[in-house]
Amino acid sequence: MSETVRHTGFVPLPPLIYLAALVVSIVLGVFVPPPWIGGILADILLAFGWIAIVAALALWFSAVRTMRRAGTTLNPKGTPEHLLTGGPFAVSRNPIYLAATLLLIGIALVTANVWTLLMAFVAAFLTGKLAVEYEEKILAQRFGKKYRDYAKRVRRWI
């Protein structure tokens, strides 16, 4: 393992990306109210929204607990101490970002704001480009072949 990890360039904190996406979707919802489906389909979407929110919170808590138990940083700009490959990290290389995306999708369904649904995907794309790609470089530099093998086995999102 390489002990020298270089942090260069601007990397936004992903929670701020998701928060900005939520704020933008609320503003858009107020000024450009989106059309939404009514009737029984609305009730089904509401139920799926709550399921998505609960699943997102469970995934987030599981990922954070796994990271804390391993003694590795939660800071996206921090230097990881361990390569996590178990628990939620066995299914997704980015379970916390996946949880944030799922949370926004759930909020979109519960609030019937299609803008939030759109912004969830925008936030996921921006997080992938601005943070995940940076983090992957750090992990590859820090853990080398072990990380590359893990990346071949486990998808970036799901």
Q: Does 110 fall in a domain?
A: yes
Q: Which two tokens stand for residue 141?
A: 């530099």
Q: Does 6 fall in a domain?
A: no
Q: Does 43 fall in a domain?
A: yes
pLDDT of residue 2: 45
Q: Does 7 fall in a domain?
A: no
CB-count burial class (<10 Å; 0-12, 13-18, 19+) for 73: middle
Give the separation between CA 13 and CA 15, rounded to whole angstroms: 6
* pTM, entire model: 0.90
Mean pLDDT by 10 residues, the chain (158 residues): 52 90 96 84 95 98 97 88 96 97 97 95 96 93 97 95
Q: Does 28 fall in a domain?
A: yes
Domain count, the chain: 1
Give the separation between CA 112 and CA 114, rounded to whole angstroms: 6
Give the separation between CA 34 and CA 21, rounded to whole angstroms: 16
Q: Does 158 fall in a domain?
A: no
Give the separation between CA 107 and CA 7, rounded to whole angstroms: 34
Q: Does 1 fall in a domain?
A: no
